[in-house]
Amino acid sequence: MPYFIRSYSNMSSPSPALATRLEAARAVVHDAAQMAMAMRPPPGGPQASQKSAQDWLTETDGAVEAFIANRMKALFPDDGFQGEEGGVARTGSLRWVVDPIDGTSNYARGRCRWCISLGLLDGDEPVAGVIDAPALGEVYTALRGYGAFLNGKRIQASPVKDPASSMIEMGWSNRVPKPVFMEKMDAIMAMGTMPRSGGCGALALADVASGRLDGYIEIVINLWDVAAALPLLAEAGARVSPFLQEGGLTGPATIMAANPHIAQAFSEAVSIPLA
């Protein structure tokens, strides 16, 4: 029985196929995370190439994606695979989606807020995910119907009910016009919340799942950034906008996630509907 389910003996057993895949993914991502740590630049100016303004690519991105792609192909040859750098390499009813380094701008400067994100979709439904932030010593895991976990301990969305006591993060992208960004940020601040921006969408969504944040919004974000986080959010009781239904399966889309208590107020403030 997988380590994250052992404490829940009153639960029925998960699908052996999905449980086996999540355990394997956790091990593969752990090895990839150690590779990324070994290749991590020292603190300082970015050691990376710039794809566009504030959009970086390091040697590690390609190496980690290739490592995970090869390992998962060897373990589950019939599964599909999609990566940020390589696109859709294989198709299958079960599909792995990887962001080899989420938060590359942080990684390229030797900072700690970055992660490796590997999610599993069954058709169009997110069913499992692993987010490993090795510089922080944190591993998030989730399996549909069996909870969300941080380092093996169950997590839940925040209980904060008053928006004026909440903490909300907004992701930045050069693909978002400045007036749109400022409109959403003004709406967040008008709620009386504390705005943040940490440069790593997958970890921000994981923070909503764990209660470290009360909400997160990013106007333009891709499937590989959120595939592992979506099962976390669902299992932790957070509410999320219909990212996949609004184009997120095939291209960039908007995501909003929040604890269940402020979700409606947050949704109305930023004019992004909830699922």
Q: Which residues are catalytic?
A: 84, 99, 101-102, 104, 225
130 forms beta bridges with 118, 141
Is 195 within 8 Å of 185 (Cβ atoms)?
A: yes
CA distance 125 to 249: 10
- Report the residue count for the chain: 275
| Closest to 81 (Cα-Cα) out of 11, 239, 10, 70 | 70
Alpha-carbon distances of 105 from 201, 202, 258, 266, rounded to whole Å: 12, 14, 25, 28
Phi, then psi, of 239 in degrees rounded to 5: -110, 145
Pairing of strands 167-170, 215-221: parallel
